[in-house]
Amino acid sequence: MKIIALKHFYSLSRSWMYYSAALCFLLGVYGLSMGFWGVPPDYQQGEAFRIIYLHVPAAFLSLGIYVFIGIQSMIFLIWRIKLCDLLAANSVGIGATFTLIVLITGALWGKPMWGSGWVWDARLSSELILFFLYIGLSGLRQAIPSRMPAAQASAILSVIGLVDIPIIHFSVQWWATLHQGPSLSQFSKPTIDPMMLYPLIAMIFSFFFFYVSLLIFKTRISIAEEKALL
Amino acid sequence: MKLRLNTRQRYRLYSLLALMICSGLAVYLVILALKENMNFFFSPQEFSSLKPKVGTRLRIGGMVKKQSIIRAEGLKIEFVITDFKSELKVQYTGVVPDLFKEGQGVVVSGIFQDPHLLIADEILAKHDERYMPMPIERSVNR
């Protein structure tokens, strides 16, 4: 539990950051090379399906980062651990960017495949709302001048917004949507051929390690700023 | 930070849980109020049980019935959309998505004309979540 002290996190996290960056790079090289060249075209979508290797990992991360922000916010609200607030604050920008990537790659994929770059179905609409939540979190924190109230307000907003996550995830199962159902779910066999699946899993982890190393990098800067202000 | 909570921390935990429950309840009620509107389209089956008035704008999702595509001059196309329980004829003038073919999932949006005919102004292809490599001979012949 020493880790929650900022100075311990600062020294321990340095190597984690470099290892994460290395893993991100290695998995990314495998995932992108296989995904964009190695894997054969899809029986139904042809070459265009390859954008899945950006779209799906970004989607996993956009949801996962928000859940992480929610958990950090809850811990912060109950125990007032400063590191949790720093981790949450530094995750918002990364999460928002991944959400934007999902929406844009989705539109680029949908226009040729579906015939439309955007529809107001449950999946797309709830993901757009998630993007607005991220922007709102950032705006709220910046709008409040004093440190502690800003942190508390952001934490509360992020917990309120957590309800969007299961909606996004289950939208394709609960309602009729244009977006297709899940190809990867916890309980059933994947509907993706293994040859196409392994680079996809690699990309998901690559994006994840990218997030981890960037988060640690940003948090270490925040910790250094704290030290400088004291 | 021990996992045993003191009074203040327990109070905060309960407030947090109450907040989450309230937010969940609020969203649940909103979704309940929206009812059918959360759905992007009706299936042909739901369409026939709804019996909408002529002139209503609708979105119907289903599959293009085998051997039902009739292409007329220009970009006119006529086909039948089905969910194997009920079906509906669709007329459309324009370019259809690349994936459009017999047996393909589609979502058509348009005005319901006379019984059993929809004049569509938008056709979207809906594909499933399966991803498989193309069979080798087909990719060579493409």
User: Which chain B residue shows the shortest CA-CA distance from A117?
Assistant: B124
Q: Does the pLDDT of residue A1 top 80, yes or no?
A: no
Over range A78-107, report the average pLDDT: 96
List CB contacts (< 8 A) between B129 and chain A: 180-183, 191
Q: Do B124 and A114 touch (CB under 8 A)?
A: yes
Higher pLDDT: A4 or A138? It is A138
Q: Does the pLDDT of residue A20 top 80, yes or no?
A: yes
Over range A185-193, report the average pLDDT: 78
Q: Do A77 and B20 touch (CB under 8 A)?
A: no
**pLDDT recorded at residue B110:** 92
**pLDDT recorded at residue B98:** 85
Judge contact between A190 and A184, C-beta under 8 A: yes
- Residue A45 has phi, psi (to 5 degrees) of -105, -5
Task: Choose from A4, A42, A44 for mutation: most chain B CBs within 10 A.
Answer: A44
**pLDDT recorded at residue B137:** 47
**pLDDT recorded at residue B101:** 87
Return residues 26-85 of A near B (CB < 8 Å).
Answer: 39-46, 49, 52, 74, 77-79, 81
Q: Does the pLDDT of residue A186 top 90, yes or no?
A: no
List CB contacts (< 8 A) between B46 and chain A: none
As a whole number of angstroms, the distance between CA A111 and CA A44 comes to 15
CA-based nearest distance B94→chain A, Å? 12
Over range A188-214, report the average pLDDT: 92
Over range B98-111, report the average pLDDT: 90
CA-based nearest distance A48→chain B, Å? 11
Q: Do A163 and B27 touch (CB under 8 A)?
A: yes
Task: Choose from A175, A179, A183, A193 for mutation: most chain B CBs within 10 A.
Answer: A175
Is A139 part of the contact surface with chain B (CB cutoff 8 Å)? Answer: no
Please give the mean pLDDT across all residues of chain A: 92
List CB contacts (< 8 A) between B122 and chain A: 115-116
Over range A12-41, report the average pLDDT: 94
**pLDDT recorded at residue B12:** 93
Q: Does the pLDDT of residue A184 top 70, yes or no?
A: yes
User: Which chain A residue shows the shortest CA-CA distance from B46?
Assistant: A176
Q: Do A193 and B40 touch (CB under 8 A)?
A: no
DSSP of A6-69, one letter per residue? Answer: HHHHHHHHHHHHHHHHHHHHHHHHHHHHIIIIISPPBTTTBGGGGGHHHHHHHHHHHHHHHHHH
Band of pLDDT at residue B142, cut at 50, 70 and 90 = very low
Over range A183-208, report the average pLDDT: 87
**Which residue from B71, B89, B134, B128 is spatially nearest to B105, judged by alpha carbons?**
B128
Q: Do B131 and A177 touch (CB under 8 A)?
A: no
Band of pLDDT at residue A6, cut at 50, 70 and 90 = confident
Task: Choose from B104, B131, B134, B136 for mutation: most chain A CBs within 10 A.
Answer: B131
**pLDDT recorded at residue B36:** 80
Return residues 79-118 of A near B (CB < 8 Å).
Answer: 79, 81, 112-116
Q: Look at the alpha carbons of B26, B32, B34, B38 in this order and tell me if their dihedral is positive or negative.
A: positive
Band of pLDDT at residue B138, cut at 50, 70 and 90 = low
Q: Look at the alpha carbons of A4, A8, A10, A15 in this order and tell me if their dihedral is positive or negative.
A: negative
* CB-side neighbour CA atoms (13 Å) of A150: 15
Judge contact between B122 and A173, C-beta under 8 A: no
**pLDDT recorded at residue B2:** 59
What is the interface pTM, i.e. ipTM, of the complex? Answer: 0.86
**Smallest Cβ distance to A78: which of B13, B126, B135?**
B13
